[in-house]
Amino acid sequence: MADRKNPREEEEKYIKQQEAAKLQELRREKQLEAIRQQEREAIAASLNTDEEVAAEAMALGFDAETARVLPLLPLIQMAWADGTISNAETAKVQELADRFGIAEGTPAANFLTMLLEEEPTDHFFSRANVVIAHMIDEDPEGTMGEDMIKWSKAVAEASGGFFGLTNPIAKEEGALLDDFARLFGVKG
């Protein structure tokens, strides 16, 4: 005679397996949310901002290690304004990155290098600039917006004009500076 299992036992076993799987998934989601929360807090601390801005930075792909690059994005965008980045522009961005404590060989430095070698999309820059505008609004010293314009202008001037005979800031760069001034609430 074949060993026949009780259908009721099979059903109970199936239900218990489903409940265990749901419980495991719930635990996993809670662990992931705890990790995300820690990451948001670390980004917020790195950028000296709130968790809402940190969440926006996370949505752009930044983490606690690369978040320090975020304030440099307008400078990178300025460097890419004419479609290419000169050695002088790269050097100026790297110089300013040093001021932000972005040390060579770190994930932030590697991310910065990638952004200088491969042009990000306009959509990425646009979203990032909104995050930066929020950071500027929260800046307790109130100088970040003006600093951002000053640093962007320094990047624009890095390649300079033709032997000092022309304006060191190209037309595209000037238009972008105007856009930054409006977005970051800085009077021209």
Question: pTM for this one?
Answer: 0.75
- For the segment 141-153, the average pLDDT, to the nearest whole number, is 90
pLDDT of residue 3: 57
Per residue in 22-40, pLDDT (tens digit) is: 888 888 888 878 877 887 8
Name, in order, each residue with C-beta under 8 angstroms of 90's C-beta and a sequence gap of 6 or more.
Answer: 79, 116
pLDDT-based confidence at residue 163 (cuts at 50, 70, 90): very low
Could you count the other beta carbons within 10 Å of the beta carbon of residue 17?
A: 10
pLDDT of residue 165: 47
pLDDT of residue 6: 80
Per residue in 76-115, pLDDT (tens digit) is: 999 999 888 999 999 999 999 998 889 999 999 999 999 9
Judge contact between 135 and 187, C-beta under 8 A: no
